[in-house]
Amino acid sequence: MDKNKQFIIEFCEKTGTDYAELTGKRKPNDLVEKRAVLYYYLTKRGLSIGEISKYFSDKTRSGINCGLKRYERDIKTFKTMQELDKIARIIFYKKTKKIYLASSYSSQNKETEHIRHLQVLKFVRDHQKASQEILFSPIIYGVALIGESNSINTGFLTWKEFNYSELSVSDELWVLKLDGWEDSEGVQQEIKWAGEIGIKIKYEGI
C-alpha cells in the first residue's frame, strides 16, 4: 500500500475518524484540525502541495495552504491541535524510512580510518540537512563510543551482532563506496545479510 495513504489511515484509526469523511468533500468543523495536522506531516514526509491534494477529494492548493497556516497558528495554543499533533508525530516517526549506511573503516593506517570517518560524517550531515529519513551509520556511532580508547577492536566480528541487529530493523541498506569498500569484510557481510533478509540495497558514491 502507498505509505502516505497508510499514514493517513493509521491517523484515522488512532483518532477514531472515518477515512472517507476525512479525505472527502465534507467540511465539518471537527475535521478541520485533523486535516491541518495531516497536511503538515505529509509535507514533512516530502510531499508537495499538489501531491498532498491527490489524497483528499476536492482539496485545492489554496485550501491545503490554509490548513498549513492554521496548523502554524494554532499548534502552540490549542490543546486539541496539540493532542492530534502528538498522535501524528508518533506515527510519523514510526513510518519514517530508516537507512543503514555501510562503509569501510578499519585499516592498519590510523590516518586512513580518520579520513573515512570524516567522509562518512560529511555524507550523513549532507543527507540529514536535505531529508527526514533516518540515516544510521555504525561508523559514526562506533567512533563516538570508542573515543580515544585503544581497548575496543574496530573489526567486523566485534560489532557484528550490534550491526546486524540495526540492519535488520532498517528499510534499506546504503553502501557508501569509500576507498576499500569492496575489500571490507564488514561491508560485504552486511550486503550479504541484507540480501538474505530482503532489504533493498543501494550504492552511493561520494
Q: What is the pTM (predicted TM-score) of this model?
A: 0.64
Residue 111, judged by CB atoms within 10 A of its CB (0-12, 13-18, 19+), counts as exposed
Cα of 107 vs its chain's centroid, Å: 30
Instruction: Judge contact between 143 and 172, C-beta under 8 A.
Output: no
Q: What is the C-alpha separation between 156 and 98, in angstroms, rounded?
A: 22
- What CATH number is given to the structural domain containing 161? 3.40.50.10400
Instruction: Read off the pLDDT of residues 6-53 as tens digits, 9 standing for 90 and up.
Output: 999 999 999 999 999 999 987 777 899 999 999 999 998 889 999 999
Residues 103 and 200 occupy one common structural domain = yes
Residues 39 and 81 occupy one common structural domain = yes
Residues 195 and 104 occupy one common structural domain = yes
Element holding 51 (H helix, E strand): helix 49-53
Q: What is the C-alpha separation between 164 and 128, in angstroms, rounded?
A: 23
Indicate the residue type of 98. K
**Mean pLDDT on 79-85:** 95
- What CATH number is given to the structural domain containing 40? 1.10.1750
Instruction: Read off the pLDDT of residues 86-135 as tens digits, 9 standing for 90 and up.
Output: 999 999 888 788 999 999 998 889 899 999 999 999 999 999 888 878 99
Which residues constitute the domain of residue 90? 3-95
Residues 115 and 31 occupy one common structural domain = no
| pLDDT number for residue 166 | 95
